[in-house]
Amino acid sequence: MWKSRNPLDRQVMVITGASSGIGLETARRAARKGAKVVLAARNGEALARIRREIEAEGGEALDVVADVGDRAQVQRIADQAVGRFGRIDTWVNDAGLSIFGRLEEVSEADNQRLFQTNFWGVVNGSLVAAPYLKRSGGVLINLGSVASDIAFPLQGMYCASKHAIKGFTDAFRIELEEEGAGVAVTLIKPAAIDTPFARNAKNYTPHAPKLPPPVYRTEEVAHAILHAAVHPRRDIYVGGGGRLMSLAKELAPRAFDLAGRTMSAQQQTDQPARDRAGALYEPSRSGGEVAGGHPGHVMRTSLYTRASLHPLTTAAVVAGIGLAAAGLIGARQDGSR
């Protein structure tokens, strides 16, 4: 457990992927709490609108157009942030994309582009941010996923990129601690979140994609990120359903594999595919949207996540989830027999 950092109204926060979804909701909430926010994404028009919105509410913001897959462009984010606000206290690596399609069908170029954004974007952001965070004793927050722990069909390369993010983040944390750098490193692992994620993904399937349940509101992830910026944690799962799946996979990996075969259908609607290209190579034409319009039920809050952020309740919550995971695996094994 790291010591608490400055309250948000005394922080400069850089957020990549800030033009929509989790990044946008985090930026808005941080600005309302008094943080100076640096908004980074590929969609310059959306960023400018968001900056003006924040300023109209009395906040301070800077927008920087950048592709996180390019190290030089990420360095420009840092340079402009320090040039405007003098320091960086928290850096949030949120930018990410997905591809819906079977691994044998997705092109090598598309897979490489996904990794350039998802994985190398986190690597670039982390390594560029590190010198500034060492000076401020700041916080690095990387967005992984429950897919950092588990895997499922139709988004295989997305899962691979999130596994890679976990490996990099864990190794970088150890190196920073070995150095005595004073930088806290948090990995956020959301379950499925109702953002424009599915709409922005490249789609190889004949159907419009959707997220597998349970699905949670974007606000839950933003809440966890802002908590970590002040009270850093090693890992934060957003959504008890995601944590349950992660533990179930640990307890009975083969049973989880067999159960996972149902997830292809859970990721496709009965509507025909529309914009197959998504935002893999070009930024979304809309931007500025937090919610994705998930067609099913969206959980308003995660009691598991809210409770786990408080040290006195964490052990009890984790124990309860562990028992639930064991029960889930047992029920599935009984059913298979």
- Provide the residue type at 220 as one letter: E
Q: Counting Cβ atoms within 10 Å, is residue 210 exposed (0-12), middle (13-18) or buried (19+)?
A: buried
Q: Report the helix count and the strand count for the chain, using DSSP H and E.
A: 12, 14
Stretch (H or E) spanning 70 = none
First to last CA, the chain: 43
Query: Residue 74, CB half-sphere, CA atoms under 13 Å: how many?
Result: 25
The b/e string for 244-271 (b: 16+ C-beta within 10 A; e otherwise) is: bbbbbbeebeebbeebbeeebebbbeee
Question: Is 158 assigned a catalytic role?
Answer: yes
Q: How far is CA 317 from the centre of its chain?
A: 22
Name the active-site residue from 132, 158, 216, 237: 158
Which residue intervals of 147-252 are DSSP H helices?
Answer: 156-179, 197-200, 218-230, 240-251
Do you find a cis peptide bond into 272, omega within 30 degrees of 0? no
Which pairing describes strands 12-16 and 90-93: parallel, antiparallel, or unpaired? parallel
* Catalytic residue annotation: 158
